[in-house]
Amino acid sequence: MPLDDFEKEYPGFDWKNTPAYKHPGGRNCPCPKHEYIREQINVAKTVSETSKETSNITLKFCPDHYRVYLKEVIPSMPFKYRMLTKIALKIGAIKVEQLKYMQSDQCFYCKFGSGGHDKKNELPPII
């Protein structure tokens, strides 16, 4: 759902500063934060399905999205994917790198997520 449509449907709702679990509709909330969570769950699914291979994934985030990923996205994933993600992070199958603000053009979510600066229509292939 585009941000304009979301703001029309939920006028005055501060989705950026409200914890994800307090959003309308729970995990089905159409805000950009929950869309991002759903994208990350899909990444976790893909990683777990292809985990037999030893390829590593490095997710690069600007400081804002780095904080959101660790403090909101991972905790609000369903238990199975939260555990898979934590295990993948611990064994190094997924690496999370925090960029400087001036490197935001390399941020995974700024590039490919909803509302990103350089939004693409599809996510990059996982290598």
* CA–CA separation, 20 and 75 (whole Å): 10
* pLDDT reported for residue 47: 67
- Mean pLDDT of the 71-78 span: 85
Q: Where are the beta strands (DSSP E) in the chain?
A: 57-61, 94-98
The pLDDT of residue 26 is above 50: yes
- Mean pLDDT of the 28-48 span: 75
> How many CA within 13 A on the CB side of residue 40?
31
- Mean pLDDT of the 105-120 span: 62
The pLDDT of residue 69 is above 60: yes
The pLDDT of residue 123 is above 80: no
Contacts of 26 (CB under 8 A, 6+ apart): none
